[in-house]
Amino acid sequence: MPEVLLRVAGLRKRFGRGHGVHQALDDVSFDVRQGEILGLVGESGSGKSTIIRCLVGLEKEDSGEITYDGINPAAASKAELRRYRREIQLVFQDPYSSLDPRMTVGQILEEPMLVIGGFSARERRDRINELIHLVGLLPEHLARYPRDFSGGQRQRIAIVRSLVVGPRVLLCDEPVSALDVSVQAQVLNLVKDMQRRLDLTVLFVSHDLAVVKYLCTRLVVLDRGVIAEAGDVPAIYDDPQAPYTRALMEAVPLPDPAAERARRARRQEAAR
């Protein structure tokens, strides 16, 4: 079994206080192993994004521990924190809001290397050129602004931005849910392709079980801040154990109309 690269242990997070308190995460623990694509699935409000935000430091967990390759970001030295930030990168959900509208694509792609530091001007140029070639963007695109691109292209730009510093772990927060269905598959294939080529470990957050089945090897199902089920994708899809997982799977429409009709009839029968 490959080694564990990223470990989340006993994560808890609540928002608000008094009557409005909301337990977003309650004792969430899971491992992400070197080289795998781990799916993190749940409805909206199940805490998927909160986990991601805790991992990149946009939220502070109330308790629990994050460990990445021997680094605990909550108690890390400056050098360790720099390595953590460099090696764990995030792709945001909405490529329309995740790119600064006033910067050119070239500036956007260069920024992570400038902030992390340690890249020469030549290195920065080479890395950008190499990666935009990989994702199918052209050198002349670098002088343009985000508004000149479609959603799919913007998400490619956002993916390149997350890859320029050479991460080992890529966190994807529903990277295709803001895109047209017609380009979703392209972006998913791109993530898969990059994972293989660059030997990445991916934590892929989604509410779409079909996407997760296509992309992931293992799966964690999250239900209102608690892990409902975790395991290998084929095993869970063949025989879901938790009632919540079964309900999620029932909600996925079947591509065959006859089968979908039959299932709906069965469901109504059962409800009666």
Partner 1 sequence: MTDDGASVVSPAAIGRSIGTAARRALGGRRFPLLDRIAFALVVLLVLVALVGLFVTPHDPFMVNTGQAFLPPGSGHLLGTDNVGRDVLSRILAGAGRTLLVAVAIVLCATVIGVLVASAAALMPRWIDESVMRACDICMSLPSLVLALGLAASLGPSMMSIVFAMIATSWPATARLMRNILRETLTSSYVEAARTLGMSRLRLMRRHVLPNSLDAIYVQASMEISGTIVMISGLAFLGVGAPPPSPDWGSLIAQGQNHITTAWWIALFPGLAITLAAIAFGLAGDAVRSAVDPSSRRS
By CB under 8 A, name the binding residues for partner 1: 56-58, 81-82, 85, 89-90, 92-94, 97-102, 111-112, 115-116, 145, 147-148, 161
CB of 148 to partner 1, least distance (A): 7
CA angle 32, 33, 39 (to 5 degrees): 50
CB of 108 to partner 1, least distance (A): 8
CB nearer partner 1, residue 89 or residue 153: 89
CB nearer partner 1, residue 99 or residue 219: 99
CB of 154 to partner 1, least distance (A): 11
Distances (CA, A) of 188 to 191, 197, 228, 264: 5, 14, 25, 30
Give me the long-range contacts of 43-49 (CB less than 8 A, separation at least 24): 43/207, 43/223, 43/248, 44/207, 45/224, 46/222, 46/223, 46/224, 46/225, 47/13, 47/222, 47/224, 47/225, 48/173, 48/174, 48/205, 48/207, 48/222, 49/93, 49/173, 49/174, 49/205
CB of 162 to partner 1, least distance (A): 9
At which residue do the structure tokens 């084929």 appear? 234
CB of 112 to partner 1, least distance (A): 5
219 bridge partner residues: 39, 231
CA angle 221, 230, 32 (to 5 degrees): 100
CB of 97 to partner 1, least distance (A): 4
Contact status, residue 179 vs residue 151, Cβ threshold 8 Å = yes
CB nearer partner 1, residue 56 or residue 183: 56
